[in-house]
Amino acid sequence: MKLKDKIAIVTGAASGIGKEIATTYAREGAKVVIADLALPAAEATAAELVKAGGQAMAVAMNVTDETEVNEGVAAVVKAWGGVDILVSNAGVQIVHPLEEFTLAEWKKMLAIHLDGAFLTTRACLPHMYASGRGGSIIYMGSVHSHEASLLKAPYVTAKHGLIGLSKTVAKEGAAHGVRSNVICPGFVRTPLVEKQIPEQAVALGISEADVVKKVMLKDTVDGEFTTVQDVAEVALLFASFPSNALTGQSLVVSHGWFMQ
C-alpha cells in the first residue's frame, strides 16, 4: 500500500475524477476525506469506500467559502490528527464566446478554481508544516493550463493560474517537505464534459458527434478520451512520491493532445 494511513482531502470527490482519486487513495490505504458541495453525494461516496474496506469520511465544503473550508479542514484534523495530502480538484465549466460571459459567471469560475485552490491550500499547509512529515498538494489543472480553446476564457485563465500558484507553493513548502504539482488531463467523460457536448454543439453550430471528434479529441494521437483511472494514477504518483525531487511540475495526461 503506497499511502498507508496518510490523511488525504480530495475536494469535488463526490463525482468524476475526484471520486476516482478518492477510491484509488482508499485502496492504497489512505484515510480519505470526500469534501464536496454536494453533501449527500459525498456521504454516499464515503459509505461506498468504507463498504469496500477503506477509511473515508464526508465533509460539506463549498471551496469558495472561507469559513466552510477552514471548518472542514479543522474537522478533519480533529477527527484524524492532520492532513498529509490535499487534492484541490473541485471544478465546474461554463462555455460561451468571451463577449457573452457575464461578470458574475467570470467571477464564479475564478472563485471555484482559484479561490478554492488558495483557501484549501492555506487551510492545509500549517498542518503539513506542523506535523514534520511534509505533504503533497495536487491541483487539478487541465490541458487548458497550457493551451487555450474557443469558448473557455475564464476556465483557461483559471487553469493557467493554478500553475503559478503551484510553483509558489513548491518553493514555500520545500523547507517543510511539502511538494506541489498540477495534473493536466485532456477530456475525460465525466458529468462536467457530458454537459459541455450539447452546449458546444449549439455555440459552434455543429453536431454533438463533431464536438467529440473534431473539437475535443481532434489533436489526440489516437482519438481517445482520457479516463478517470488515468488521472487517478497520476494523482497517486504525485501523492506517494517520496522526495522534493518531484515538485513544481505539471504532468499532462491527454493522449498526446498537448505535448510539453
Measure the CA–CA gap between 242 and 34, rounded to whole angstroms: 24
Name which position in 49, 63, 109, 128 contacts ligand NAD (CB under 6 A): 63
Cα torsion 232, 233, 237, 238: sign:
negative
Q: How many whole angstroms separate alpha carbon 217 and alpha carbon 215?
A: 6
Residue from 187, 238, 257, 258 binding ligand NAD (CB under 6 A): 187
Residues 6+ apart with CB under 8 A from 201: 207, 208, 210, 211
197 lies in the binding site for ligand NAD (CB under 6 A): no
Among 188, 211, 234, 239, binds ligand NAD (CB under 6 A): 188
Work out whether 37 is an interface residue with ligand NAD (CB under 6 A).
Answer: yes
Does 155 participate in catalysis according to the annotation? yes
What region, left, alpha or beta, does residue 156 occupy, with left being phi > 0 and alpha being psi -120 to 50 degrees? alpha
C-alpha cell at 193: 464534459
Site for ligand NAD, residues 130 to 169, rule: CB under 6 A: 140, 142
Is the CB of 3 or the CB of 138 nearer to ligand NAD?
Answer: 138
Q: For residues 90 and 60, what is the distance between their CA atoms, to the nearest angstrom?
A: 12
Q: Does 61 bind ligand NAD (CB under 6 A)?
A: yes
Q: Write down the least CB distance from residue 133 to ligand NAD, Å.
A: 26
Kindly identify the residues of this chain, within the stretch 212-251, that bind ligand NAD according to CB under 6 A.
none
For 229-234, which contacts have Cβ atoms below 8 Å and span 24 or more sequence positions? 229/20, 229/24, 230/185, 230/188, 231/17, 231/20, 231/21, 231/183, 231/185, 231/188, 232/17, 232/20, 232/21, 232/23, 232/24, 233/24, 234/183
* Binding of residue 193 to ligand NAD (CB under 6 A): yes
Min dist CB 99 to ligand NAD, Å, is 23
Residue 91 makes contact with ligand NAD by CB under 6 A: yes
Determine if 33 is a binding residue for ligand NAD (CB under 6 A): no
Task: State the pairing for strand pair 135-140/178-185.
Answer: parallel
∠173-174-176 over CA atoms, to 5°?
70
Q: Which stretch binds ligand NAD (CB under 6 A): 33-41, 99-107, 121-129, 240-248?
A: 33-41
Q: Is 15 in the site for ligand NAD (CB under 6 A)?
A: yes
Check residue 54 for interaction with ligand NAD (CB under 6 A): no
CB of 93 to ligand NAD, least distance (A): 6
> Hey, which residues are catalytic here?
155
Residues that bind ligand NAD (CB under 6 A): 11-12, 14-18, 36-38, 61-64, 89-92, 112, 140, 142, 185, 187-188, 190-193
